[in-house]
Amino acid sequence: MKIVIHEFQEFKDSITAISELINEATIKVSKEQERLELVAMDPANVAMVIFKYPAAKCVEWDVDKDYSLSINFANFKQILKRGSSKDIFSMVYTEKQDEDQVKGLLGLRFNNNRIFNMPLIELEDKEVKLPNLVLPVQVKMPCSYFNSAVGDVDVVGESVAFIIDENKKFKLLSEGDLNKVNIEFDDEKAKEGVEAVITIKSEGKVKAKYSIEYLKKMIAGAKISERVIIEFNQDYPLSMKYIVDGGMSLQYILAPRVDND
């Protein structure tokens, strides 16, 4: 198996964002679907990460069958840090060659003259199923707006309420022992031929609360896309999705925080 990545910086930023939540996971290489795919839960089973990287974004895609590459993401990230945006980056998988080598080796090559051999790890082969979520609220906005809002609520509390009010405004509300912050975004009309800066779709009032600690890790996806798609429902999991031209996507699903009062 040999895969040559077209835009290395984009791929590196994706893996870095994933490593904020995932320690160890399996990347599936699908011959039939022609893509890399990862579906994994964080160690606390609070957040899910879904990553898809299509063959169409690769310079070379030499895949003769399906592969499962179980990886320590901290190690993967550290190796990728050694590459620059100008490097030609490739991943070459070699089947195990001796008894001491439990799994195969994943060769990570920069310009074919710097080669890191990263041993794969043993992980329990259990399928992580995608949840069937009904998320009637959808907010599309620039990542810079949303990242700034997460930074604001982080100053105040540990959780933040996502609210759609009766006027179809999207609000982020957080309260601490001494402080309170309320951030509002209005739906904007798209001009002809131009996408609106913020679009809000909802059928009524909705409120759900989420962990700011997790949101701070999830907004790392902004490195690969200028816009984020936020979807949620009343006291329901949150979906945050970053989409890149060419079919690449990075999605997070975060469980809600439920008050006991």
Q: How many whole angstroms separate alpha carbon 242 and alpha carbon 18?
A: 12
Helix residue ranges, H only, the chain: 8-19, 73-80, 143-154, 212-218
Question: Cβ distance 101 to 119 under 8 Å?
Answer: yes
The domain segmentation of the chain, as residue ranges, is: 2-119, 137-254
Q: How many whole angstroms separate alpha carbon 14 and alpha carbon 18?
A: 6
Write the CATH number of the domain with boundaries 2-119.
3.10.150.10
> Which amino acid does the sequence have at 144?
S
Two domains, one topology: 2-119 and 137-254 = yes
Residue-wise pLDDT tens for the chain (261 aa)? 999 998 999 999 999 999 999 999 999 999 999 999 999 999 999 999 999 999 999 999 999 999 999 999 999 999 999 999 889 999 999 876 555 555 678 999 999 889 999 989 988 777 788 888 999 999 999 999 999 999 999 999 999 999 999 999 999 999 988 789 999 999 887 666 667 899 999 989 999 999 999 999 999 999 999 999 999 999 999 999 999 998 999 999 999 997 754
* pLDDT value at residue 125: 72
CB atoms within 10 A of CB 95: 10
Write the CATH number of the domain with boundaries 137-254.
3.10.150.10
* pLDDT value at residue 260: 58
DSSP SS3 for 76: helix
* pLDDT value at residue 96: 65
